Every structure is written in structure tokens, then in C-alpha cells.
Chain A
Amino acid sequence: MRLNAVRTLTPLFAAAALTVGVAHAQDDFPQRDASGKTLVVPAEHAAKGAVYYLVPGKPGPDADQTRFTNNPPDTKQAKPVDAFTGFSNEAVGYIVTSSGDPQNIIAGEFLLPVESMDTGIKGRNNHLKNKTWLDAKKHPDIRFSLAGVRNLRPAGTAGGAPSYTAELHGKMTLHGVTKDFAFPATIMVRPNEDLIAIRAQYPVTLADFDVANNIIGKKVAGEIVVEQFFILSPKKPS
């Protein structure tokens, strides 16, 4: 009798544990503040230097925060109709810079909600969020945990703002998989307005993050090109 009860309860406990594990898969992610427009900065980050928050929303009427592009692979199945560019203007996050040296980024966190990714076509948006792609229910956010910059070099001025080239490095979590990640970026500083802009373009290899299905490599490239233009300010969004 007791053995039977153990036999019955063990799979139930296992299933419950698995469910709890799934539900809290992103619990170690940085938390949004009450306004939902930025992230809570942990004390150990705040103590490192000056915090600049990502200014929420579209950076301009003709500009987007994030764009992602599928350039179909060179295969028989791929056709020009398969090319698309999507966007999102709902990333949240912050960076920490060494005081008095705003281009020298020493930490940061960014979250991009998968739900906010828009390809312009509702049917395609639904595909993007389902289990065979980014699985928005299970992994609602894409996270980039910025560890710092490497090879920081002056690169003249941009619209009157001193600019620098650098490599941003840290860890990217997408589809529940975390990888070391680094990409080149341009950092522009406007000292008068106390604003920083980060412009980056980099490829994301879907296979690296266990995003796999029979369309990738045929109609959708294995590498999606991501472009980002983030404006950051010391003023906390509310």
C-alpha cells in the first residue's frame, strides 16, 4: 500500500517540481521597477559608478530602438518574399559608467520583451512567439547582461558628440540559453545634455540558443542581424 502511494506520488512531485522550475525559469533575471519602464538597479551595480537608464520608447519618429532582419539563406527554398525586418521599442535597462568617464561602461542589464517584437504581419508575429521559435510564454524576455567594454577608442564626433568605438561584452540569454556574447558598438556622448547613445549591429546565431526548426536554414537564415540604438540618461524613467 505504502509502496503504491510512493509510486503514485513520486511522478506527481516530479511534475510539480518541473512546473515550478519552468514558471521560475527567469526568476534570476533583473526585475522591472513599479513603473515597468526600467529595471531595479542592484546596490552592487549602483556602487560601481554613475547609472544611466535606457530612455523608454522610440528614439525618434523615424527611428527605432531595435531592428532584426532575416536575409533568407542562399537555398532553393528561400525566396525574396521570405526577407523581413522587424522591430521593438520596448527594451528596458541601464548601464553603469565609471564616474566622470561616461563612455567607459562597466556594467549593465537590458531586457527585451519577446511579445514586443513586431514583424509587421500578425501571423508571422504569432509564429515568432510560439514554441518552435522564441517561446514567449516560457521565455518572455531576452536578456543582455553587460559586463563592460573592451578596446575603447575615440572615433571623432557624431553630430557634435564625442564618439568611441568599443566591444561590449557580457552574457546573452535567449530562449532560456545563456551564452557569452560580445559585439562591436559605437558609444556617443553628449556631455551638455548628459546623454549617452549606443549604436550596435551584430548577428545572433539561432542555433547557439537552441532555436531550431525545419524552416531555419531554408527560409530563415541561421543568423539574424540585430541593430540597436539605445539612448541613456541619468534621469530614471517613471
Chain B
Amino acid sequence: MGRPSLLRKLITLGCCAAVLVMSLMLWDATGRAYYTQQFDAERAKREAENTNNLANLFGDGPAGAEASIEAVPNRFSLGLLPSTEPWNITNPDLVSVMTISTPALLIALLQIVPQRSTRRLLSMIRARGAGGGSHKTGAEPA
């Protein structure tokens, strides 16, 4: 019982760590944004049709700096935080380092906390639920 259980625990923890590390790697690779930003296909189409390409005629400004203004990029950036409310579960802006890694961290936490404690916690929750109901089952675990 001891060895397979430890192995299972280690694999789960490893997977959770991988999820966390990979989400941070993606965050780093996509521009280290604070909030998730999506690529806007409509904007890309609009801009492709409405770019006049005259800025390069003016090159550097009189002080040597670029005369034009650098464009705000249109790209996907995984943010540390989601850019929508957490209850908007179908909104793609919900994806973020935080929302990806929180479930993984919870699973890891459940693996680290001794099973006895989680069982006790679950039984306490069940007991409370049963106490609030119309009848007692008497089936609460000891």
C-alpha cells in the first residue's frame, strides 16, 4: 500500500509542478503581461485594409527619435491574471497563469495534506450537511 501510494503522490505532484512551470514559461514567452490579452482577428483585418504606409516617409524625428508612434501590438499574451470575471467561464479571457495553476496547486495541496486530515475535513463537512437537513442518517464516518 505504501509504495504505490507514494508513487501516485509523486506523479501527481510532478504533473502539477509541470502545469505551473509550463504556464509560467508561456507567460514569459508571450510577453509577460499582467492581464491576458487575445489576438483580435477583426482588428487585424481592419488594419490590413486601412494601413497607409506613409509613416516611413518621415523616418526619424528631428531629435533623432522615431517620428511615428510605436503601435500597440495585436497578439495573444498569457497574463498572470484573467482579464474577465471568474464567473465568465466560457470567456477565453479567463485563461491566465492564475486560473491554470490554481486547480493544479489545489490538487497538489490535497496530495501533500495527510489523507487523515482530508478525511476528517470531509466528514466534518458531511456531518454539517446532515445536521442542517431534515433527518440524520447516522452514517457519518468516525
Q: Is the CB of A122 within 8 A of B93?
A: yes
A199: B residues at CB distance < 8 A: 61, 67-69
Q: Is the CB of A59 within 8 A of B35?
A: no
Q: A81's closest neighbor in chain B, by CB?
A: B34
User: How near does chain A come to B45, taking the closest CB pair, in angstroms?
Assistant: 13
B51: A residues at CB distance < 8 A: 57-61
Q: Is the CB of A87 within 8 A of B55?
A: no
Q: Is the CB of B60 within 8 A of A159?
A: yes
Q: Does A95 contact B (CB under 8 A)?
A: no
Given contacts A80-B34, A87-B72, A158-B67, contact A61 B62 (CB under 8 A): no
Q: Is the CB of B71 within 8 A of A163?
A: no
For B53-69 the 0/1 string (1 means CB < 8 A from A) is: 11111111110000111
For A102-134 the 0/1 string (1 means CB < 8 A from B) is: 000000000000000010111110000000000
Given contacts A158-B60, A186-B62, A229-B67, contact A64 B53 (CB under 8 A): no
Given contacts A63-B68, A121-B37, A122-B93, contact A156 B55 (CB under 8 A): no
Q: Which of A141-149, A188-196, A205-213 contacts B (4 or more CB under 8 A)?
A: A188-196
Residues of A whose CB lies within 8 Å of any CB of B are 55-67, 80-81, 85-87, 89, 118, 120-124, 155-161, 163, 165, 186, 188, 190, 193, 195, 197, 199, 227-229, 231
Q: Is the CB of B72 within 8 A of A67?
A: yes
Given contacts A118-B43, A159-B60, A161-B58, contact A60 B34 (CB under 8 A): no
Q: Is the CB of B69 within 8 A of A63?
A: yes
Q: A55's closest neighbor in chain B, by CB?
A: B52
A212 CA / B71 CA spacing, docked (Å): 29
Q: Is the CB of B67 within 8 A of A159?
A: yes
A55: B residues at CB distance < 8 A: 52, 54
Given contacts A81-B34, A161-B57, A193-B57, contact A87 B71 (CB under 8 A): yes
User: How near does chain B come to A30, taking the closest CB pair, in angstroms?
Assistant: 21
User: Which of B56, B70, B71, B84 is packed against the most chain A CB atoms within 10 Å?
Assistant: B71
Given contacts A67-B72, A120-B72, contact A155 B54 (CB under 8 A): no
User: How near does chain A come to B93, taking the closest CB pair, in angstroms?
Assistant: 7
B59: A residues at CB distance < 8 A: 158-160
Which secondary structure dominates where chain A touches chain B? strand
B70: A residues at CB distance < 8 A: 62-64
What are 20 sample pairs from A and B whose C-beta atoms fall under 8 A apart? A60-B51, A60-B53, A60-B54, A62-B68, A63-B70, A67-B72, A85-B72, A87-B71, A118-B43, A121-B37, A121-B93, A158-B62, A159-B67, A161-B58, A186-B61, A186-B67, A188-B58, A188-B61, A229-B55, A231-B55
A65: B residues at CB distance < 8 A: 69
B49: A residues at CB distance < 8 A: 57
A157: B residues at CB distance < 8 A: 62
Q: Does B47 contact A (CB under 8 A)?
A: yes
A29 CA / B46 CA spacing, docked (Å): 26
A56: B residues at CB distance < 8 A: 50, 52
A208 CA / B71 CA spacing, docked (Å): 28
A66 CA / B43 CA spacing, docked (Å): 15
B52: A residues at CB distance < 8 A: 55-60, 231
A60 CA / B80 CA spacing, docked (Å): 31
User: How near does chain B come to A194, taking the closest CB pair, in angstroms?
Assistant: 11
Q: Is the CB of B69 within 8 A of A159?
A: no
User: Which of B35, B55, B56 is packed against the most chain A CB atoms within 10 Å?
Assistant: B55
A57: B residues at CB distance < 8 A: 47, 49-52
